[in-house]
């Protein structure tokens, strides 16, 4: 049986942060649906990639945001989101980002 895709927010975070992120994505014009999910996935995959130091700033992959998201732009977006979330949700997101940043 094929394995289903589980969004990172569902797998790693509480319901509170998921609802706060959804509310934020619907109310901010610089975010779209799943923007936080895409950014979190991009940053997570980047810091776990052993070849991350070879990132080419010129080509930036194929240029499609959901396919080859710029990991540094993704991290910056996650920082904006952490500042815009309510206190408890922001603390939970910052804790996860600190773990990922330590790997980088």
Tell me which residue range forms the domain holding 24: 11-49+59-103
54 within domain boundaries: no
Number of domains, the chain:
1
- Domain membership of residue 1 (yes or no) is no
pLDDT at 35 over 60: yes
Pick the closest to residue 61 from 80, 45, 81, 78 (CA basis). Answer: 45
* pLDDT surpasses 50 at 92: yes
| Residue 92 placed within a domain | yes
More confident residue, 85 or 51: 85
Give pLDDT tens digits for 38-77. 899 888 888 887 766 655 555 555 555 556 678 888 899 9
Q: Is residue 2 part of a domain?
A: no
Burial class (CB in 10 A: 0-12, 13-18, 19+), 81: buried
pLDDT at 1: 40
Residue 36 lies inside a defined structural domain of this protein: yes
Task: Confirm whether pTM is higher than 0.85.
Answer: no
> In this structure, is residue 84 part of a structural domain?
yes
In a domain, 45, yes or no: yes
């Amino acid at each position: 049986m094929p394995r289903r895709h589980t969004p990172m927010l569902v797998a790693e975070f509480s319901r509170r942060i998921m609802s706060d992120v959804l509310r934020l994505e619907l109310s901010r014009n610089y975010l779209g649906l799943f923007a936080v999910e895409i950014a979190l996935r991009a940053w997570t995959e980047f810091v776990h990639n052993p070849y991350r130091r070879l990132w080419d700033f010129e080509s930036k992959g194929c240029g499609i945001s959901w396919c080859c998201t710029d990991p540094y732009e993704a991290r910056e977006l996650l920082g904006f989101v952490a500042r815009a979330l309510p206190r408890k949700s922001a603390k939970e997101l910052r804790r996860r980002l600190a773990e990922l940043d330590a790997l980088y």
